[in-house]
């Protein structure tokens, strides 16, 4: 996505503060987890500013390879990665440069420099945004994989890493649905060939087959009794395989 998605109340509030901050000569800090849209918001606050990682900007200032006199506003990405920010912020403040910074956390001393604090919650707290992003990622996946037919939107979404994991889970599901049994076998063959080149043994690789088989059986048949019946194996043998593959019974 090339823009900040603001359909939920939390993201609308963040966008409102960002838009207001853009018109004011103040420094802003945008905080939130990875892949929630902080960089997009930063461009709204300072649309003409160039973005730098905190460490690269600090090094450029120390090495005098950047002309701060020619800069009116600047975006600093991942400022939390610097152990000390005093030198960096003091250098920018001395030149009266408007600063917009992003961070995964808000530290107490930030309030001494940043007048505006914009909080961006995780996607798990932004249901409306997730639905919009899901539709957009499905459209993108269809274009990439050259799929014309309708896609089943009942996809198990992964929000553990926000937009990154959300997009991966959608692409993975859509790609999987387009694969044939022969495709999957070819993929496995290539994967196993690489593993054999690392001197992996048959015993080490066996869980690659058994673990997903057991997990799928557990989801399908609900109980070990039914699994043993359909798998046509002894129930004690099945229980042993659950333990070996570290699957909760």
Q: Considering only CA atoms, which of 32, 95, 90, 82 is closest in space to residue 56?
A: 82
End-to-end CA distance of the chain: 41
SS3 at position 19:
helix
pLDDT at 152 over 80: no
pLDDT per residue as tens digits for the range 30-83: 999 999 999 999 999 999 999 999 999 999 999 999 999 999 999 999 999 998
Calpha distance 99→244 (Å, rounded):
54
pLDDT per residue as tens digits for the range 117-146: 999 999 999 999 999 999 999 999 999 989
Angle at 75 between CA 121 and CA 120, to 5 degrees: 5
Whole-structure pTM value: 0.82
Domain ranges of the chain: 9-121, 123-178, 180-249
pLDDT at 1 over 70: no
- Largest Cα–Cα separation, the chain: 77
User: At the topology level of CATH, where does 9-121 sit?
Assistant: Rossmann fold (3.40.50)
Task: Phi first, then psi: give them for residue 83, nearest 5 degrees.
Answer: -70, -30
User: To which residue do tokens 């989801």 refer?
Assistant: 219
Q: Which two tokens stand for residue 4?
A: 């900040």
CATH code that applies to domain 180-249: 1.10.10
């Amino acid at each position: 996505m090339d823009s900040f998605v603001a359909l939920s109340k939390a993201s609308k509030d963040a966008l409102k503060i960002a838009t207001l901050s853009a018109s004011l000569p103040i420094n802003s800090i945008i905080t939130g987890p990875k892949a929630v849209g902080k960089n997009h918001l930063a461009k709204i606050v300072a649309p003409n500013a160039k973005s730098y990682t905190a460490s690269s900007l600090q090094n450029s200032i120390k090495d005098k390879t950047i002309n701060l006199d020619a800069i009116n506003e600047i975006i600093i990405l991942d400022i939390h990665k610097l152990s000390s920010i005093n030198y960096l912020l003091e250098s920018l403040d001395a030149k009266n440069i408007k600063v917009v910074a992003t961070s995964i956390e808000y530290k107490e001393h930030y309030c001494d420099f940043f007048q505006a604090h914009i909080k961006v919650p995780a996607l798990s707290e932004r249901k409306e945004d997730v639905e919009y992003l899901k539709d957009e990622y499905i459209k993108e996946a269809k274009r990439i994989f050259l799929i014309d037919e309708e896609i089943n939107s009942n996809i198990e979404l992964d929000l553990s890493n926000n937009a990154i994991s959300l997009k991966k889970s959608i692409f993975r599901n859509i790609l999987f649905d387009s694969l044939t049994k022969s495709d999957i076998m070819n993929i496995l063959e290539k994967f196993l060939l690489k593993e054999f080149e690392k001197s992996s043994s048959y015993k080490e690789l066996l869980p690659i087959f058994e673990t997903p088989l057991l997990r799928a059986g557990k989801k399908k048949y609900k109980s070990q009794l039914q699994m043993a019946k359909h798998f046509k194996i002894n129930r004690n043998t099945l229980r042993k395989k659950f333990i070996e593959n570290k699957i909760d019974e």
